[in-house]
Amino acid sequence: MVAQVVDGKTFAAKVRAQVSDQVLKLKEENGIIPGLAVVLVGEDPASQVYVRSKGKMTVEVGMNSYEHKLDVDTSEEDLLALIDQLNTNPAVHGILVQLPLPRHLNEDLVINSIDPAKDVDGFHISNVGLLVTGQKSMVPCTPLGCLMMLRDHHGSLSGMDAVVIGRSNIVGKPMAQLLLGDSCTVTIAHSRTKDLPNVVRRADIVIAAVGRPEMVPGDWIKEGATVIDVGINRIERDGKNKLVGDVDYASAADRAGAITPVPGGVGPMTIACLLANTLTACCRAIGLPEPEGLTA
Ligand code: NAD
């Protein structure tokens, strides 16, 4: 079997176009422009790139983008004071604090100081609790993007066997909760899982979120399974820098029914879902119905 390629780039462009249409409608009918505030502490090069592209895409869909760049030695008190201001600013509907934070700042404390209704990354403890209990929440962007692609490909996921490899708070755990919410039978595998190959072999849906280049070979994939590769790994091959996922794409594509490439799979969906979450937060804040198809 040769897998269908799940094109995240095209899908993400479609999501952004939907967001953009809704933003225009909000402007015309309600005089409201959704606003996203992004806070970056320090000068981590990868974080700077992410923040720049988030800002650019926020403006492209017609939203307001507020960037707050703070010195690497910013105190916790100053950072919390800024978050407090953003929490009470009615022009700001979404707040994202770019992670990782410098080591002297307590990440949990900072994230939990964001108003949960504006927590567009979905990392606040209240949003985690709401997701686990099946209530309306802000859902972490990367897992939300994976869910959207899976629903688009399969329609219903009910009864499917899903294996999530990785148990991080930002990808693995929320991904598992979303799949459970869509009535999959979910297994979470991790670094201590015994016999990972055979755990993966029984999955109709494989989500790989580990951060180890090409660790899942094709012979772990059940014939016809859907493979969502969240991993982003930089490697050097034939003297060139290359991005690869956690799945060995070539051998997995021979067995899977559908597979996301790296780059061009899950990656572009993450920012698209951040914009979708900001729109959702704005609609909720002003008491309008949530945009259809853009939430979990
Ligand atoms: P993490 O390091 O926080 O978690 C990795 C998980 O993998 C851990 O739970 C660990 O138990 C598990 N693991 C480690 N070694 C393993 C092994 N040998 N077998 C099975 N499980 C193992 O990473 P993360 O933040 O969840 O990110 C995972 C990957 O996804 C990274 O490559 C990251 O860059 C990528 N990522 C991509 C996006 C995106 O937008 N596409 C967003 C977030 C993360």
- Size of the chain, expressed as the number of residues it contains: 296
Could you tell me the distance, in angstroms and rounded to a whole number, from the CA of residue 208 to the centre of ligand 1?
8
Q: Omega into 263 within 30° of 0, i.e. cis?
A: yes
Q: What are 163's strand-pairing partners?
A: 187, 206
Please name the residue whose Cα sits nearest to atom 16 of ligand 1.
191
What pLDDT, on the 0 to 100 scale, is given for residue 1?
Answer: 76
Could you tell me the distance, in angstroms and rounded to a whole number, from the CA of residue 165 to the centre of ligand 1?
8
* Secondary structure (3-state) at 228: strand
The CATH number assigned to the domain with range 30-124 reads 3.40.50.10860
* Secondary structure (3-state) at 33: coil
Secondary structure E strands in the chain: 4-5, 35-41, 64-70, 94-97, 161-165, 185-189, 205-208, 226-229, 233-237, 240-244, 258-259
Cα–Cα distance measured from residue 261 to residue 245, given in angstroms and rounded to the nearest whole number: 8
pLDDT tens, position by position, for the chain (296 residues)? 789 999 999 999 999 999 999 999 999 999 999 999 999 999 999 999 999 999 999 999 999 999 999 999 999 999 999 999 999 999 999 999 999 999 999 999 999 999 999 999 999 999 999 999 999 999 999 999 999 999 999 999 999 999 999 999 999 999 999 999 999 999 999 999 999 999 999 999 999 999 999 999 999 999 999 999 999 999 999 999 999 999 999 999 999 999 999 999 999 999 999 999 999 999 999 999 999 999 99
Binding-site positions for NADP(+) read 166-168, 232
Reply yes or no on domain 141-268 having CATH 3.10.180.10: no
User: Which residues have C-beta atoms less than 6 Å from ligand 1?
Assistant: 142, 165-168, 170-172, 189-191, 193, 196, 209-212, 230-233, 266-267, 270
What pLDDT, on the 0 to 100 scale, is given for residue 127?
Answer: 98
Residue from 230, 242, 246, 247 to probe ligand 1 pocket by mutation (most atoms less than 8 Å from CB): 230
Q: How many CB atoms lie within 10 A of CB 172?
A: 22
- Is the pTM of the predicted complex or chain greater than 0.95? yes
Tokens 């869909």 correspond to 61
Which residues, other chains included, contact 168 with Cβ-Cβ below 8 Å and sequence gap of 6+? Answer: 209
What pLDDT, on the 0 to 100 scale, is given for residue 2?
Answer: 87
Q: What token pair was written down for 140? A: 């972490």
Q: Give the torsion through C-alpha atoms of 229, 232, 236, 241, to 10 deg.
A: 110
Please name the residue whose Cα sits nearest to atom 19 of ligand 1.
191
Does 30-124 match 141-268 in CATH topology? yes
Binding-site positions read 166-168, 232
List the domain boundaries for the chain: 30-124, 141-268
Reference 200, options 187, 213, 182, 185; nearest CA is: 187
Residue from 47, 139, 193, 210 to probe ligand 1 pocket by mutation (most atoms less than 8 Å from CB): 210
Atom of ligand 1 nearest to the CA of 145: 40
Please name the residue whose Cα sits nearest to atom 40 of ligand 1.
267
Reference 143, options 119, 169, 115; nearest CA is: 169
Atom of ligand 1 nearest to the CA of 211: 32
Residues forming the active site: 54, 98, 121
3-state helix, strand, coil split of the chain in percent (to 5) is 45, 20, 40
